[in-house]
Chain A
Amino acid sequence: MFKIVVLVKAVPDPKRASEIKIDPRTKTLTRADVPLVMNQLDKHAMEAALELKTQVGGEITAISMGPPPAAAILKECLAMGADHGVLLSDRAFGGADAYATAYTLAKGVEKIGSADLILCGMASSDGSTEWVGPELSVFLDLPVVTGVKEIAGSSEQWWQVKAHIDNGYRELKVKLPAVMAVTRELNTPRNISFSGIIKARKKEITIWDFDALGVPKSSLGLAGSPTIISDLRVSESKREVEMIEGTREEKAEILVQKLADAGLF
């Protein structure tokens, strides 16, 4: 049976993410009460999985690493049509950088077992390293394609995809099992439906803590992260602003005059 695993991440709502700021005195982040939502690009990964399931049949497991509230994101995936949800949640996973995150997720994917295709969004709105897909592929010893914008076709074991490069795209054949990091161009994610929510009642979200993964604590979370934050500071601006005042007409005129004076047209 064709098994798809989708990596999803709960991120602070991007519409309100600017409310999270660095406190210059304590050098920590002031977390405003910003709600968590599913990372937008992961919805495209979920949609890709759902479309594939319609075409070739099979089973979808959504997996996320995060604190307990991240289970709500997995519930959404179940409502969209995923069959199972797995939440990797444990204090020991906290403080992870991209490397430790990818490592922990890889252990989770291994435990799920026999994945034919692993999908994830290209980047997350709150970190945007774009690392997790490729690093995961190394830990699982699988091929990876990032920037997937079109799935052009498939035969028994080889899948043909188009992936972004700077100024264009490359077309590739990938042997499954493989990891694919997808972009916005790939599809339009479906809305959650009411009947999807009803069907999700019978589906399960399993929670795995670090015991369940059976790896040493030193490989996870802050301890397992090769990089650490050494400093946080508020950036200082070096410009002196002149606010242009007046009626709308006046403001436009003054601006145009200043730009003309500066030789810009």
Chain B
Amino acid sequence: MIDFTFTEEQDLFRKAAREFSETKVVPKIGEMEESGQVNMDVVKALGEAEMMAITIPEEYGGLGLGYSARLIALEEIAKDSCAVAMMLQVFALGNEPIIKFGSDEQKKKYLPGLASGERLATVGVTEPTGGSDPSGGRTVYKKDGDDYIINGRKCFITNSHIADTITVLAKDDENPKAFSTFIVEKGMAGFKPSHEEHKIGMRGCNTGELTFENCRVPKENLLGVEGKGMRVAMSAIGDVGRGGMVGCSLGVLNACLEEALKFANERILYGKPIIKLPAIQDKIAEMKLDLEIGRLLGYRAAALQDQGVRCDTEFAMAKFHTAESAQKAAKMTADIHGGYGCMNEFAITRYLRDAFVLGPSAGTSDIMRIIIARSAM
């Protein structure tokens, strides 16, 4: 370890992501905020810019660039739109179980379409009774000949209504300790996205419920080993999911700091811009420090992930720190704005709302604390 600089190539990835975000995402932010809906032009642009291909291996149509490159892309996009970054991060989250645990046939069948953006992915794990503790889930499967039948309901699923390929976690209805994961495809009988959520923030990213009513899934769609599904689900959420949240949070944190600097340089009090006041500089210093810490934690975890080394605790720390810091930064920046911090025309109000949604995504801060404490004990 120890070289703390990005490579020339990584700088180029960042540049490419920045150019993409400025030309394809920024013009659509207004629309997304208004409607709260996913913008299909943005989804198409993401596919054309090969954003979904970053973590998919080259032999299956991806770019095989790894998780550091992914984090760079997410960070840049999130600086402009947390919603789009969230949507993109969950595509990767949905791809991961197939990349890590799929058979060669499954990888050949699904990954090329997912890499090009023709097909979109997500993961169906969370339920009303099983979020922080997924083993509390009640969605069940039973064998029926060569097939499996799934019954249940998933909630708070990002990309619920746009995903074509969903990795679903279900419990063996005869053995509550055994879980399996299945690849469910849009259009399969008995499966449908049902209720759509209206979130306070991350508008432009769709979140909703998935309903399974005697959904018949062929045996070819069993992902990994039957009965060992919890491992499949958690490995995806643990590293890729949390890693994605780090990208989203760093972007929001960055955006808050820039807004704060801009406003503080323009606003005059006592004949000087308020950035000259110690109270304001304290806030700026805190945000800057949080940002640097977040980047160090996040990129270190991603570097370990690229090396294939276990990094779930590192990601838990990075996710915890960046999500909490983003929320703090949003509040501090709103404070710096004074009354304007409550007005919708000011970008800070969007960052406040987006930052809120960072907290419970991919594991609440309290759960992160437990994971971190356990690693120390």
Contacts and interface: CB of A to CB of B under 8 A. Distances in A.
A8 to B, nearest CB: 15
A197 B11 CA distance: 10
Given A76-B15, A79-B16, A194 B8 contact: no
Interface stretch (B48-56, B102-110, B254-262, B324-332): B48-56
Nearest to A79: B12
A194 B50 CA distance: 7
A193 interface: yes
A75 B12 CA distance: 8
Interface residues on B, range: 10 to 19
Given A79-B12, A79-B16, A201-B9, A191 B23 contact: yes
B23 A76 contact: no
A192 B22 CA distance: 13
Given A79-B16, A191-B16, A194-B53, A72 B8 contact: yes
Given A79-B16, A198-B63, A198-B65, A193 B9 contact: no
B63 A194 contact: yes
A207 to B, nearest CB: 15
Interface residues of A, number: 14
B50 A195 contact: yes
Contacts of A191: 16, 19-20, 23, 49
B8 A193 contact: no
A10 to B, nearest CB: 14
Contacts of B16: 79, 191-194, 196-197
B12 A195 contact: no
B13 interface: yes
Interface string A69-109: 00010011001000000000000000000000000000000
Contacts of B65: 194, 198
A72 B50 contact: no
Contact of A197 (B12, B23, B51, B53): B12
Nearest to B8: A75
Nearest to B54: A194
Contacts of B12: 75-76, 79, 192, 197, 200
Nearest to A191: B19
Interface in B14-72: 15-16, 19-20, 23, 49-51, 53-54, 63, 65, 69
B19 A197 contact: no
A194 B49 contact: yes
Interface in B165-222: none
A75 B13 CA distance: 12
B327 to A, nearest CB: 29
B48 to A, nearest CB: 9
Nearest to B22: A191
Interface of B: 8-9, 11-13, 15-16, 19-20, 23, 49-51, 53-54, 63, 65, 69
The 9 nearest A-B residue pairs measured at CB:
A192-B16, A191-B19, A194-B50, A197-B12, A194-B63, A191-B20, A79-B12, A195-B50, A194-B16
8 contacts: A72-B11, A191-B16, A191-B23, A191-B49, A192-B19, A194-B13, A194-B69, A201-B9
